[in-house]
Amino acid sequence: MKAARMGASPALEGRTERRLADADPLVAGALDRALSGKDLRLEEVEELLRVSGGELQLLLLTADLVRRKLVGEVATYVVNRNVNHTNICTGSCRFCAFRRPPSHPEAYSLTPQQLRAKVEEAVKMGATEICLQGGLHPDFGLETYLGLLRTIREVSEELHIHAFSPAELDHLSRKEGLPVDEVLKLLKEAGLNSVPGTAAEILSDRVRETICPAKIRTERWVEIVRSCHRRGIPTTSTMMYGTVETPEERARHLLLLREIQRGTGGFTEFVPLPVVPQNTELSRLGITGPTPEDNLRVHAVARLALAGYINHIQASWVKLGPEGARTMLLAGADDLGGTLFEENITREAGGRWGQGMTPQQLRSLILGAGRVPRQRSTLYELLD
Ligand code: SF4
């Protein structure tokens, strides 16, 4: 009785066992291995990323069982404030509607006074984290980045600073002619606590060539993330899906993250990010983004593929909407991310879900999924 080994309720055990017997042998075998706590193989992850109908229902049930075994009934959120310090960017990602050229009337870079005011506001509203990311500004070097960290630290020693994507870290390292490890050392000394694992998109150079040809390649993303972990700087991990990638490329992405985590243990969570293409170049290519069914599949498969390695799966309310995020809590997810307070990047791409959520709204979504809401720190310590 594999389900019994997961510690599930007898009713769920029975239902899962009966339905497994009716499924396609490869799907049933993969779910059975997941329930037994074994690592899924590439072909199994790929196959699960293709299921539909009754097999999708079985996948969701299995992901929910595995979630329950690994993290229980608690679902978490973090009280944070998002700040995008500049929208000036030399990049050309085709899924991005946020960047502006330096001479554009809407181009901006926050002054230290503006950043300070936002951080003070965050402290007043009880935030434990500042999430800081921006474009690849052609003039921003180490002094600018260190200055951003110092400004935040002048307001608060306690706030967790979660900042600078691997793409920004690469930009900075090249601009200064310094190895990324040296850049990380200096940023950490100035107060950087953790790094967003964004800019991963799909870790396949074939896909990157189409959707973000000028962006750091897979190998560089992996190198930077491993450097962060070696320096004692945790990162999140992400996957932006729903563009031109195949199920195999999604599966390889998930297993690459698992492999990195096996070596470093530095990922705090995995965040599936459905692409929001409406106002971007991608929509002109006819890309409309993933279906609700695809969202369920990706969250559930991520739970199974990363089980025992990355045990927190975050549903992004910014991308999925509040109801979509709540639904993902029933498909393997156990976290709703942050309050954010000020979200720009997805909104400019066509996101419809506003700039922030209150802790009460996030708690009520979690309760609506029949789970126990808890506020967490960036590193998943429970705070309430
Ligand atoms: S996604 Fe980031 S790096 Fe790419 S164009 Fe937009 S702001 Fe620049």
pLDDT digits (tens, 9 = 90+) for 106-155: 999 999 999 999 999 999 999 999 999 999 999 999 999 999 999 999 99
Ligand 1 centroid distance, CA of 149 (Å): 21
Q: Is 208 a residue whose pLDDT tops 90?
A: yes
Rounded Cα gap, residues 49 and 271, in angstroms: 16
- Give the residue, out of 98, 104, 137, with the most ligand 1 atoms within 8 A of its beta carbon, to mutate for a pocket test: 98
E strands present in the chain: 74-78, 80-84, 129-133, 160-163, 235-241, 267-274, 335-338, 372-376
Q: Is 17 a residue whose pLDDT tops 90?
A: no
Predicted local distance difference test score (pLDDT) of residue 349: 81
Residue with tokens 């595995």: 66
Rounded Cα gap, residues 124 and 293, in angstroms: 39
Rounded Cα gap, residues 204 and 209, in angstroms: 9
Ligand 1 centroid distance, CA of 53 (Å): 37
SS3 call for 371: coil
Q: What is the pLDDT of residues 241-274, one digit of tens each?
A: 999 999 999 999 999 999 999 999 999 999 999 9
Rounded Cα gap, residues 13 and 3, in angstroms: 5
List, as one string, the DSSP characters of 175-224.
HHT--HHHHHHHHHHTT--BB---S-SSS-HHHHHHH-TTSPPHHHHHHH
Percent of the residues in the chain that have a pLDDT greater than 70, as a whole number: 95
- Give the residue, out of 93, 211, 275, with the most ligand 1 atoms within 8 A of its beta carbon, to mutate for a pocket test: 93
Predicted local distance difference test score (pLDDT) of residue 168: 98
Residue nearest atom 6 of ligand 1, based on CA coordinates? 96
Ligand 1 centroid distance, CA of 126 (Å): 30
Extents of the domains making up the chain: 2-71, 74-376
Q: How far is CA 26 from the centre of its chain?
A: 29
- Give the residue, out of 100, 132, 198, 215, with the most ligand 1 atoms within 8 A of its beta carbon, to mutate for a pocket test: 215
Rounded Cα gap, residues 320 and 45, in angstroms: 23
Residues contacting ligand 1 via CB (< 6 Å): 89, 91-93, 96, 98-99, 135-136, 167
Ligand 1 centroid distance, CA of 282 (Å): 14
Which atom from ligand 1 is nearest to the alpha carbon of 89? 8
Residue nearest atom 7 of ligand 1, based on CA coordinates? 135
Which atom from ligand 1 is nearest to the alpha carbon of 165? 2
Rounded Cα gap, residues 215 and 333, in angstroms: 29
Residue nearest atom 2 of ligand 1, based on CA coordinates? 135
Q: Is 3 a residue whose pLDDT tops 70?
A: no
Residue nearest atom 8 of ligand 1, based on CA coordinates? 91
SS3 call for 23: coil
Confidence of residue 49 (pLDDT cuts 50, 70, 90): very high
Mean pLDDT score of the chain: 94
Predicted local distance difference test score (pLDDT) of residue 364: 97
- CATH 3.20.20.70 assigned to 74-376: yes
| Token duo for residue 115 | 């950043």
Ligand 1 centroid distance, CA of 63 (Å): 33
Rounded Cα gap, residues 87 and 101, in angstroms: 8
Q: Is 23 a residue whose pLDDT tops 90?
A: no
Rounded Cα gap, residues 18 and 227, in angstroms: 46
